[in-house]
Structures are given as structure tokens and as C-alpha cells.
Amino acid sequence: MPKILVTRRTFPEAAEVLRASGAEVVIWEDADAPSHEDLIAAVADIDGLYAHITNQVNAEVMDAAPNLKVIAEFGVGYDNIEIAAANERGIAVCNTPGILSESTADEAFALLASMARRTNDLPAMVKRGEWGDFDPLGYLATDIHHKTLGIVGMGSIGSEMAKRAAGFNMNVLYYNRNRRDEEFGATYVDSLEKILERSDYVSLHNPLTPETTNMMSTDQFKLMKKSAILINTTRGPVVDQDALYEALVSGDIAGAALDVTVPEPIPADHPLLTLDNCLIMPHVASATGDTRMKMAMMSVENVLAGVAGDWPPYCVNQTEIAGNARIKS
């Protein structure tokens, strides 16, 4: 009987499918994610790992799990998994592509709209009893229509963001490693620097890699318009948060909205949390019931295929491990 470890609580429907397969299923039900030491201790005899972004699945974890055949990541990004180590050991790594793109773009555009129209700070002012008499120059916000949105990373989420911007009559620019067909009226820009200089809003949708770590730092913020707003729904390390704080305080940029931070959760005493022009969400861009259910069921499909000896349908490293895969089919 194969054994599967699920590192966070999951939907009852997903747990039911896992258990109906005949596998032994262990679900981490604690409110807090397992520590690295907890994870190492828990994987000793597992065949499949249903993992989450809170787990750093590195070579040490993999070596503690000699029977591990498949790691099914709950999400599209899998930068928490040491992919080179998985390749070396013949472990299949899977993700949940496509299904969270629209929900993530919904939140990214909601963050943009919130910062533009000041729903991030004005409601709190009203609750404090500070709503004064009508003032033609008071409480001014920023238009969205006919403004320029710069999208960094035109993958599935970036493309969905472009669709939403088109509906608001925005001018859309995008920067991507590979030029794509012009979609939704979006115009390709051949450098990050150019898109930062030209955009009123910059939305980050690129993956986290060594090259994109701290991609947005002091020099980049100084290129942006002083009226510009930064949106980050990709990964926290893409933005240098110390530099972002300085840019927001100094007025190099007007505002920022983040769904992701370093670390996560962000400490309650972090300087960014003191700023009215910085809105931070708790990494919930995909957090709708429908989307998270689909992600869970796709993760179940991946892990069950792997422990059965079949190639998971959403394996990201099948080519790399074809010659040494622990999956034998």
C-alpha cells in the first residue's frame, strides 16, 4: 500500500478521493505548517508528497524519503522545491497549471483598482470619523481608464491581467522573455527599464528565479514615474522590500500593493505595514473556493498517478528524469 503525506489540511472531497484509492493517507492538520524538521521526520516511508509553498522540499527532505516517487505541488509555482535535486534522484515534480490564472488576475486587478481609487486607505479614514465637508481638492484618487499598465511576465496570468485592463480602456505594455502575439492590444517592450519608465501601473507576473530575485530594487524604483503604483502577485523575493519602503517614503513611487512578501507571514512590526500607500494581502491571489478546490483535485490526480507508477498529467520534469525516474511505467 503506497503512503501519501499531505502537508496542509485539504478539502474533504480531495481527502476522500485520496483515501478511496487505497493509499495510506496522512494529512497534517495542525494550524501551523510543519517545520523543516517535522517534514524530514514525516517523509521517511512515503511514496508521494502533496506539498505546499510553506514547505521547502530540498535535497535533505528527498534523501529522508528513499521511496519518494512524486511531489505534487499545490500551485503553479514550485520554487520551494529543489528541482535539480529531484531530477538527480528521479523524483517527478508536478504543479497545477492554468486553473488559477483568472483568480490571480482578478486579485491583481482588484489591488490595482484599490490603490488607484484609494479603497485601501479612505474607508479607514471614514471609520476614524475624519470625513470632513466636501472639498473639490480632497480625497483625490487616480484614474484607471486610459492609463498605462506595464505587465512584467506575459504568461497565463499576465495575459489574463491584460484582458482585464483592456476592459478598462487601459494602454497595455508588456515585457517578457519571449515576444508573444499582440494580445488584447498589448504592446511588446524590449526591456524592463523601458516598461518601468512608461507605465502608470506595473504588475509583476514573472516567475521567481535567481535572475529575478530583487529584480525590483532602488535603481528600478527610480526609473518609475513618481505617480506609479507597483502590484506584486508573483513571489515576494522578486521585490527588494527595503528598497520598496524607501521608495514609498521618499516619493519615488506613489504606492504598492503586495499579495506576497518576504518572509511570509510578514512580521507585524515590518515598516511597510506603517505606510498608508502600501497595501498587503496574505498571499491569497488564488484563494477562492472554486479555484482552490480545482487545485486540490489536480494535486490529488498528480500524486495518485505517481504513486501508482504512472506519469502524472502535470509533471514539469518528465523529460529531465526520463532515464532515471522512480516511476516505472
Q: Has 264 been annotated as catalytic?
A: yes
End-to-end, the C-alpha distance of the chain in Å comes to 17
For residues 266 and 279, give the distance between their C-alpha atoms in angstroms, rounded to a whole number.
12
Q: Return the C-alpha cell found at 261.
A: 512578501
List 52, 89, 198, 283, catalytic entry: 283
List 235, 292, 301, 320, catalytic entry: 235
Q: Has 183 been annotated as catalytic?
A: no
For residues 264 and 141, give the distance between their C-alpha atoms in angstroms, rounded to a whole number.
30
* Closest to 3 measured CA to CA, from 63, 32, 44: 44
- 48 φ/ψ sector (left φ>0, alpha ψ -120 to 50, else beta): beta
Amino acid at 102: E
Instruction: Assess contact for 194 and 220: CB atoms under 8 A.
Output: no
List 13, 16, 182, 264, catalytic entry: 264
The set of residues, in sequence order, having a beta carbon less than 8 Å from that of 47 and lying 6+ positions away, is 2, 3, 4, 23, 67, 68, 69, 70, 306, 307
Instruction: Assess contact for 196 and 216: CB atoms under 8 A.
Output: no
Give ∠ CA 287-83-232 in degrees, rounded to 5.
35
For residues 189 and 24, give the distance between their C-alpha atoms in angstroms, rounded to a whole number.
51
Q: Has 52 been annotated as catalytic?
A: no
Determine whether 251 is exposed, middle or buried from the number of CB atoms within 10 Å of its CB (0-12, 13-18, 19+). Answer: exposed
For residues 278 and 121, give the distance between their C-alpha atoms in angstroms, rounded to a whole number.
9
Determine whether 21 is exposed, middle or buried from the number of CB atoms within 10 Å of its CB (0-12, 13-18, 19+). Answer: middle
- 129 φ/ψ sector (left φ>0, alpha ψ -120 to 50, else beta): left
Question: Any idea which residue has 490526480 for its cell?
Answer: 301
Indicate which residues carry an active-site annotation: 235, 264, 283
